[in-house]
Amino acid sequence: MSGDDVTSQLVGKAVRLRRHELGMDASTAAVSAGVSPKTLRSLENGTRRPQVASLYAIERVLQWEPGKIARMLDSGPCGPVPPSGLQVEFVNELPPARGGRNGDPLLSEFADILRQRPGAWAKWPTKLRPNSARTYLSAIPKGLVAAFEPFQFEAAARRGVLYVRYVGGVQ
């Protein structure tokens, strides 16, 4: 399937979704736009690109600004105008991470204490939500929790209690 085919199908889904949001069936929308039901159906199925005048008429019925469908069709499947109308905000830089040494001071202190006693197990210092210990079991060894470097810590759970130990300095 080519990029144009994917784009046409995504645009078709956006048109159908918008029509449903407005509570219109296909026949009513087509008649209101002054196009044949086949034209609207072809657009929604992504099998045909209607003429510009028909696109403008369909946009009017869908309460979209003129040219929106053409922009979606021209922008490609990952183009700047999402078919759903979702507003996406891109940023030039990420905000500072919460993880690492600048993360939760309590977790940084806990990790520092564990580093002083390699191989010794310690209870997790904060109260965990029910069933969250399982999440930490895989996240801590991978370094996905603030202050815990990848492959330097192990985690284990016993009866809903999370235990962690530093293994980076253990031979």
Kindly report, residue by residue over 1-38, the tens digit of the pLDDT.
Answer: 455 666 778 888 888 888 888 898 988 888 988 989 99
Residue 81 lies in a domain: no
Coil/strand/helix, residue 34: coil
Q: Do 44 and 104 belong to one domain?
A: no
Q: Do 112 and 68 belong to one domain?
A: no
Q: Do 109 and 159 belong to one domain?
A: yes
Residue 93 lies in a domain: no
Total of domains in the chain: 2
Q: Do 104 and 40 belong to one domain?
A: no
Domain that includes residue 115, residue range: 100-166
- Which of 75, 92, 110 is where one domain is finished? 75
Q: Do 121 and 159 belong to one domain?
A: yes
Two tokens, residue 61: 């019925």
Residue 67 lies in a domain: yes
Q: What is the pTM of this model?
A: 0.42
Q: Do 71 and 124 belong to one domain?
A: no
Residues 152, 168 contacting (CB under 8 angstroms): yes
CA 154/CA 145 separation, integer angstroms: 12
Q: Do 15 and 65 belong to one domain?
A: yes
CA 21/CA 63 separation, integer angstroms: 11
pLDDT band at 166 (very low <50, low <70, confident <90, very high): very high
Residue 58 lies in a domain: yes
Residue 111 lies in a domain: yes
Task: Give per-residue pLDDT as tens, 104-154.
Answer: 778 888 888 898 888 899 998 888 877 777 788 888 888 888 788 888 899
Task: Give per-residue pLDDT as tens, 37-90.
Answer: 998 998 888 888 878 888 888 889 999 888 888 777 776 544 444 555 566 666
User: DSSP label at 162?
Assistant: E
Residue 122 lies in a domain: yes
Provide CB contacts within 8 A for 156, sequence distance 6+: 121, 137, 162, 163, 164
Residue 89 lies in a domain: no
Residue 138 lies in a domain: yes
- Which of 75, 108, 130 is where one domain is finished? 75
Q: Do 16 and 66 belong to one domain?
A: yes
* CATH number of the CATH domain containing 14: 1.10.260.40
